[in-house]
Structure 1
């Protein structure tokens, strides 16, 4: 079981943590919401919790709660710039469908 970052995502996280002046990595999870049922949660982590599962890609830690891992296993998190837009993209092999607005998904 694993969750990985691309080099671009790891670089973005490291730059943002340096700008913030604190943090140990990024916390990734899922929550129940939206018309398809699940949505990704993403936040910068300042500390790890005892139950966290920790993965590392390109020197950057990814912290995940055990309940989210069954949905996120195999996910690769990328950071992309397209024109004036930029943001994280979730490449999740377990994702079966997304809602029309793209905010939620189902497995």
Structure 2
């Protein structure tokens, strides 16, 4: 059996058939205003009589929009009152004074007034805080000289420095001799960058920075014997000397 084109198009489709109620529906406006309901009911009855051509059993319901009468037009819409409240009635009305509504104020002023006491209390706290203890200053003590000079050595050094052209005497060590190190004395025009300066009894002597750890704490003296006259050093850092006494080791 062949299916018609119309049946093919309607396969799988569903149709919803509705019918109007015979009684008029009640809207919230009609419930509040019974006159509007009776007027709409009379209008519906008049329409039912005029539409006699419609099939029996079906009636159409018509809903009318709410109408505002003259009284509602003349009435003014009240504006909302500003936010205000009153304190609770804890006392008798006859004994307590009339209260005024309390208006809301921003919290900025309150915070400013609350911050004022803290600012005023800050100087008081600083005044109450104990004063810091004074720093202890380190006392400068005279440093012990690198070497000491004997009176005879001072005399001979003054004779060596008494020249037309002023010179400085510099004491150092060199790698020479049987034991490895020998003392060396020469004239210089100006001290080097890291030289140590020793001043005793008006005599100025320079110590070479490279020889500082080898002769520190020594005593410089002048020796006259049958063989020669020379400067000698009594060095506590010396661990031994050669037989001739010209070199030493540390």
Q: Deviations over 1:15-56 (max 9, x none)?
A: 1221x3233432111111111011111113332122211111
For structure 1, the 5+ residue unaligned runs are none
Supply the distance in 2 between the matched residues of 1:78 and 1:14 (Cα, whole angstroms).
13
Supply the distance in 1 between the matched residues of 2:176 and 2:157 (Cα, whole angstroms).
25
- CA displacement at 1:82 relative to structure 2: 2.9
Paired position in structure 2 for 1:103: 246
Structural mapping, 1:1-107, within 5 Å: 2-18=146-162, 20-83=163-226, 85-107=228-250
For structure 2, the 5+ residue unaligned runs are 1-144
Question: Aligned Cα RMSD in Å?
Answer: 1.7
Report which of the two has the higher share of strand.
1
Structure possessing the higher radius of gyration over alpha carbons: 2
SS of match in other structure, 1:93: coil
Supply the distance in 2 between the matched residues of 1:44 and 1:5 (Cα, whole angstroms).
18
- Which structure ranks higher in relative contact order (CA pairs < 8 Å, sequence separation ≥ 6)? 1
Query: Could you tell me the TM-score, scaled by structure 1's length?
Result: 0.86
Name the count of aligned residue pairs: 106
